[in-house]
Structure 1
Amino acid sequence: MIGDPRRDGAAANRRLVVSIHDVSPAFADPIEQLAETIGAILGGPRFAMLVVPDHWGRALLDRSPAFARRLRHWADAGVEMFLHGWFHRDASNHPTAAAAMKARYMTAGEGEFLGLGADEAEDRMRRGRAVVEDAIGRPVAGFIAPAWLYGAGARAALKACDFALAEDHFRVWQPATDAIVARGPVVTWASRSAARTASSLAVAAAARALPDWLPTLRVAVHPGDVTKASLMTSIAQTIGTLAARRTVARYVDLLPQGGAAA
């Protein structure tokens, strides 16, 4: 079995966590394709899904019963479900030049929680959580901001909402205590331009080749990845290669009570 720690003792101390982002009725077919591809590589639904309640204000989950049923099926099978913003769209007026640059260059207008105040961020988190939990029939595993970008308001709202876990580009942490449970960058892919695609393919190739010095390695895929064969080939190669050398883990396994913290 891929990722089985019984194969070698070292692998038991190195974890691989895989997630599918932007899970929404707007991308039902690509999400299904990614879930099938990753599930086949990992030997089952051993990954997380990041669910957007109303992607760009055009795809309400609670008005998409067929997709909600599919989400519950995945959750019942063991897929971890995270809340992933509300709209996944950044419509904020950013107060600082640094935040404006992040919003412009780090994401294509999708850093929804980068510029929100605490009250608005908390309202979207609470409403989104209710929608997703109603669909899946259980609590969400945590909250992950769109584009992994958090402003001060979002960080305050995370504490108020008592999510078990959150993550950004470089860490996974417990918002209630700020305790970090995993460190290191996320391996992901980009489909927006030829240059971004080439760069992401190079990074993925490096991740496959580099020594396994990180205790926890995270891999994230997006619906747009299915639009390019080169990306899907790289995703399959990367997840397969890393899973052969690591224990495939869930986010909950990163928690002290679920497994050893990194």
Structure 2
Amino acid sequence: MTTPDPSRRLLVSIHDVSPRSERQVDQLADALAHRLGGPNFAMLVIPDHWREAPIADNAAFHARLRDWADQGIEMFLHGWCHRDETPAIAGLAGFKGKHMTAGEGEFLNLPYATALARMTEGKAMLEDILGRSVAGFIAPAWLYGEGALQALGEAGFALAEDHIKVWQPTGGAVLARGPVITWASRSPARIRSSLLFSRLARLALPLTRTVRVAVHPGDTTVPALLDSIDRTLVRFARSHRPARYAELIG
């Protein structure tokens, strides 16, 4: 068996963790633990997924979150509702909202005050449930507007992540660079493109010091995506050590 280079990290995360995706999250967690040698991955928690799955008073889901955290799984706040509730706009932000996500760029167009309120309330809620600090904040669809970026610097998160980097919101230090490998299940075209990108990534990214892989509950509905995820994890677990985001800041 090939021993991974200890200086190279593999950071893996499950997005969209909420009561409405609990079964799929369990399936993904089992698959990741099998390939990564245990719970060496992160979970991104949504406080009220699409305003249909609030976690605030869900004691059973609180227990699941604490159990996952007690196993060593890092917990990130992943927006508030994961849905873009702002009016449609023109320009680059409007293009991103339309083409990069299916109406789920919650923090792309939020004004500063609203973004800060959702971040601080979500952080306080999740930390109260877990009894420990959250690992950081990752916006839905990795999309941040100016208001969200300004709020991040004040909300007290240790880490943030977008499509191309991981950074410290306070001070702005970039801790890791490189595209995140992820998959899309919304349409046949997106399935094909994400399968192609993951194949290319397995060839192009082995020398990258930090490789990031992100999976979503919807991936479980497409066998070809699950196979691609497994191939990707097997490939990078040979060269990169499964690690925690917290290691990026010591």
Q: Does 1:233 align with 2:232?
A: no
Q: What pairs with 1:174-213 in structure 2 (closer than 5 Å)?
A: 174-210=168-204, 212-213=206-207
Q: 2:72 corresponds to which residue?
A: 78
Note if contact 1:85-1:125 (Cα within 8 Å) is conserved in structure 2. Answer: yes
Instruction: State which of 101, 110, 114 in structure 1 corresponds to 2:104.
Output: 110
Q: Mapping of 1:113-192 within 5 angstroms?
A: 113-192=107-186
- From the superposition, tell whether residues 206 and 244 of structure 1 become closer, same or farther in structure 2 (CA, over 3 Å): same
Name the CA distance, whole Å, in 2 between partners of 1:211 and 1:91: 36
Q: Where do 5+ consecutive residues of structure 1 fail to align?
A: none
Structure 2 unaligned regions, length at least 5: none
Quick check: 2:17–2:44 contact (8 Å CA) kept in 1? yes
Cα distance, 1:94 vs structure 2 = 5.0
TM value normalised by structure 2: 0.97
Shift of residue 13, structure 1, vs aligned partner? 2.1
Given residue 160 of structure 1, which amino acid in structure 2 is its aligned partner?
A: E
Q: Does 1:22 align with 2:23?
A: no
Rounded to whole Å, the distance in 1 between the matches of 2:63 and 2:34 is 21
Supply the AA of the counterpart residue of 2:225.
Answer: L
Contact kept, 8 Å, 2:107 with 2:140, in 1: the verdict is yes
Aligned to 2:40: 46
CA contact 1:114–1:150 (8 Å) conserved in 2: yes
Q: Which amino acid aligns with 1:201?
A: L
**Residue identity in the other structure for 1:187:** I
Task: Quote how far apart the aligned CAs of 1:208 are.
Answer: 1.9
Measured against aligned partners, the alpha-carbon deviations of 1:81-133 in whole angstroms (never above 9, x if no partner) come to 00000000001125541111110001000000000011000000011112211
Contact 2:113 2:147 in 1 (8 A): yes
C-alpha distance in 1 between matches for 2:134 and 2:237: 25
| Aligned residue number for residue 214 of structure 1 | 208
Amino acid at match of 2:142: W
Q: Equivalent pairs: percent with the same residue?
A: 54
Answer yes or no: is the 8 Å Cα contact 1:17–1:217 preserved in 2. Answer: yes
Distance 1:161 1:120 in 2: 12
Runs (4+) of structure 1 moved beyond 3 Å?
none
Taking structure 1 as the reference length, the TM-score comes to 0.92
Matched pairs, number: 250
- Superposed displacement of residue 210, structure 1: 2.8
Alignment check: 8 A CA contact 2:205 2:211 kept: no
Identify which range, 62-71 or 73-82, moves more after superposition.
Answer: 62-71
SS in 1 for 2:163: coil
